[in-house]
Structures are given as C-alpha cells and as structure tokens.
Homo-oligomer: A and B are copies of this chain.
Amino acid sequence: MNIDGNPTRTIWPAGDVVEIIDQTRLPHEFVVKRLRSLDDAAEAISVMRVRGAPLIGATAAYGLALAAARDVSDAALCAAGDSLIATRPTAVNLQWAVRRMLARLLPLPAAQRAAAAWAEAALIADEDVVRNQAIGRHGAARIEAIAARKAGPVNLLTHCNAGWLATVDWGTALAPVYAAVAAGVPLHVWVDETRPRNQGASLTAWELAKHGVAHTVIADNAGGHLMQHGQVDLCIVGTDRTAANGDVCNKIGTYLKALAAHDNGVPFYVAAPGPSIDFELASGREIPIEERGAEEVTHIAGLDAQGRLASVRLTPSGSRAANPAFDVTPARLVTGIITERGVCAASREGLAGLYPECG
C-alpha cells in the first residue's frame, strides 16, 4: 500500500539479500532492515521485526532462500526449516511456508535449488498479495452493504494489526477497508491499541494514517462500550490460525471483542487467507498458545519528550506479569470467515465448502 503516496511492500528481495520494514521501530521511525542470512530471518520473526501470520510465512520462505544460498544439502535445508518453525508456535502459515518450500526444493538436483528457492519465495509473496486483494473484494461487499442502509460513515472495529504490515501487501482484515475506501465508501476505523505490544496503536494507526483512512485509536477496554452505543457497524479481525471447525486463534483479546459483538448484534468477521486455515486441527482447543516475555507487559516503548525512542516500566518492581499472546474465539461467535474464495460460515461445512480439496 501507499506510504505518503509511494507503493510499498513489507518484504522484498534486493540482490542476494532480503529487505524488510523493521516494524519494531514503527510508528515513530521508518527503518528498512537487511536480512543477510537464515539467522537474520529467524531473528526478525522471533523479535517481531516482521509479524502477522502471512508475513511470517513469506519471511520464512525468504529465510529458506537465504539458507539455500549457503548450503543446499537436504540436511541443511531441513535444519533451516526446523529453526524457522521454532521461532513462533502459533501462526500456521510459518509451517505452511516451510513445508511448501521444502516440498519444492528437496526433489530438485542440488544445482537448481538455490535459484528455485528465490523463485518459490517470490511466488509465495506474490500469491499472498493476490489472495489478500481477493479478500479485499469479498469483504468490501459486506461493508458496502452496510453503507447502503445507513447515513454517515461505516464504523468498523479491528483488533491488533492485520493490515498490509501483517502481510506482503493489502492485509487481511484491512484489505476490505482499503478496497471499500478505493470504491468511495465513507468509512471510519476504531483501532484497538492491542496491548501488550500495541500493534494497533503503532502499526494499524500508522498504516491507516499513511494511506489516508479515517481512524481513532481506543484502549482495548473501550470496544464493548462503543458497541453498546451503536458506534460499531462491524468488526473485522485477522487470524494466526483457524481450525477446521471455524474456531479462530488471533491476538489476545479478540475473544472479548467477539463476545461484545455477539451481545450487541454487531457482525464479527474474520479475514482468513487459505494458508492460515489449519484443516488438520479439529478445533481451536488444540492450537498452541505462545506465552511471550513478561517484559512486554511490564514495559512499553514510545517517543519521549525529546523525540527519542524510550522504554518505560509500568509496574512496581515487586509484581510479576503474564503474557499469553493469543486467544481462541469459538466459531459460534463468528459471523463469517472472509477468504480469498469468498465468505463462508465459521463451521466445518462452511470451510469445507470453500476448500473441498482440504476436507
């Protein structure tokens, strides 16, 4: 999407290295970071310089290309895949991308593997963009339907960042927003700040501001109140992994917003590209939930009065903190799942209808 009018992706090859937007520096600094090795790619995923299930998948694919540039042996490629999968446990796209890369590379003669790895990673990135554009079209139709029956802007609420920064381009949950805005639909986005890492306040707000979309940042606590007072027309969130029965794993706190939407009759959509749907998992209960470091709760970074990035401690020194990074929203609370193939019910039947080959 656009940064001050310039079309930009979140990851791209540059000669024999890969470049990414370092998302730990946003919204206060725009920094491009160069990934020169498998270890650089794994570190970028682990410390969340890149995050968002689709972008994690693309970065893992490029990580394997960087690995293949040094050693194309079966052992080296499999070890590289294992180390990438170990960086974060919840998003299924990571495993999906690694498996797809290995399935493409391992049957090839050694001499062809390095070039094929770059080509396959680029294909994975390009396919992500195409998928998200399709999600944008399908989701925008739902937004347009609401716009047609109300005066004033459509008020949409989103949690965390499932915008273009979470993907290679366009985003998942925000692809329908960008598509609707492009179609001239008046629209305003409530942006959950999304503690503890504030991906909403720092990333979603930044990308909406850069693209010129009206939005308001709110504390994660505020969404229920806004829904009680008719100030939210629909919710759209992304997903790190959706189970075969439609249970949705996404950023911690998503479940609370889904409960509030259900209690107030507000449609609650999940934008889920095919690779984030785990047809091998019968229900969301089986999804491993990453527990991240307590310091993400006890400390927070921002821009100080002198305009410098600074981290401050929020809690008393004697207090522990816990930090589960994701939760699972039961399918019964989800109005529909927006995929690149269309919108379906959050159910085994709904998903199997769109992805019969995975049933």
Contact = CB atoms under 8 A, between A and B. Distances in A.
Interface of A: 27-28, 190-191, 193-196, 198, 201-202, 205-206, 208-209, 215-226, 228, 251-253, 255-257, 259-260, 263, 289, 297-305, 310-316, 318-324, 326-328
B327 A225 contact: yes
Contacts of A257: 256
A218 B312 contact: no
Contact of A316 (B27, B252, B305): B27
A210 B123 CA distance: 57
A349 B231 CA distance: 32
15 contacts: A27-B316, A193-B195, A193-B314, A202-B315, A215-B320, A217-B319, A219-B220, A219-B297, A222-B322, A224-B327, A259-B259, A300-B302, A302-B312, A302-B313, A305-B310
Contact of A255 (B191, B224, B304): B224
Nearest to A217: B321
Given A224-B327, A259-B263, A300-B300, 16 more contacts: A190-B322, A193-B195, A202-B316, A206-B319, A217-B298, A220-B253, A221-B251, A222-B252, A222-B322, A222-B323, A225-B252, A228-B255, A228-B328, A301-B312, A303-B313, A304-B304
A327 B228 contact: yes
Contacts of A205: 315-316, 319
Contact of A259 (B215, B216, B256, B319): B256
Quickly give the copy total for this chain: 2
Nearest to A257: B256
A221 B221 CA distance: 8
A interface SS class: mixed
A218 B297 contact: yes
A232 to B, nearest CB: 12
A233 B225 CA distance: 25
A201 B322 contact: no
A202 B217 CA distance: 22
A327 B260 CA distance: 12
B316 A300 contact: no
A273 to B, nearest CB: 23
B225 A324 contact: yes
A145 B310 CA distance: 46
Identify which of A216, A263, A312, A313 gathers the most chain B CB atoms within 10 Å of its CB.
A312
Contact of A322 (B208, B218, B253): B218
Contact of A221 (B215, B253, B311): B253
A216 B310 CA distance: 24
Contacts of A191: 319
A225 B260 contact: no
A324 B255 CA distance: 21
Contact of A260 (B219, B256, B301): B256
B319 A300 contact: no
A323 B219 contact: yes
A314 B302 contact: yes
A220 B219 CA distance: 9
A241 to B, nearest CB: 15
Contact of A312 (B193, B260, B310): B310
Contacts of A326: 225
A114 to B, nearest CB: 40
